[in-house]
Amino acid sequence: MVLIINIVYSSLLFICSLQEDRLRMRTRPIYTGGFVRPTLFHGPLPRMKPQPEHISMIIKNRIRSREKRLQFKAALLEDLNDLALESRFEEGLKEMTNLQFTTFFSPGYVLDEWGRLP
């Protein structure tokens, strides 16, 4: 009796694995022979139909990351321009009043710390 149950169970597993294999073969990506042109976000990729979802997500995440980097860089450049404007303001105030006072944003060692101004 146990032998018959084992045989039936084994044959059911075999049939299920065949069905899974057929489904996987039916939905697998097919190489079309063409290439997806390279962009900033990926190199040349083989054209597949349907394109695997993970490849689409990799490209999408790279696009999103680049956009975040560009926004961050724009914010930093804006801050750097504000610091340069403040420096010019302090120098002009110092020249207009002819007073000696401590400046916080004026050129000198600060420029080395800020980097090159645009």
Annotated domain spans of the chain: 31-114
10 Å CB burial of residue 58 (0-12, 13-18, 19+) is middle
Residues 3-14: tens digit of each pLDDT: 667 676 677 676
With beta carbons less than 8 A apart as the criterion, state whether 52 and 29 touch. yes
Answer yes or no: are the C-beta atoms of 87 and 110 closer than 8 Å.
yes
Q: What is the mean pLDDT of the chain?
A: 81
Per-residue model confidence (pLDDT) at position 98: 86
Percent of the chain with pLDDT over 90: 18
Task: Identify which has the larger pLDDT, 104 or 79.
Answer: 79
pTM above 0.75, yes or no: no
Cβ(47)–Cβ(33) below 8 Å: yes
Q: Are 52 and 31 in contact (CB under 8 A)?
A: no
pLDDT tens digits, one per residue of 30-59: 888 888 899 988 889 899 888 889 989 999
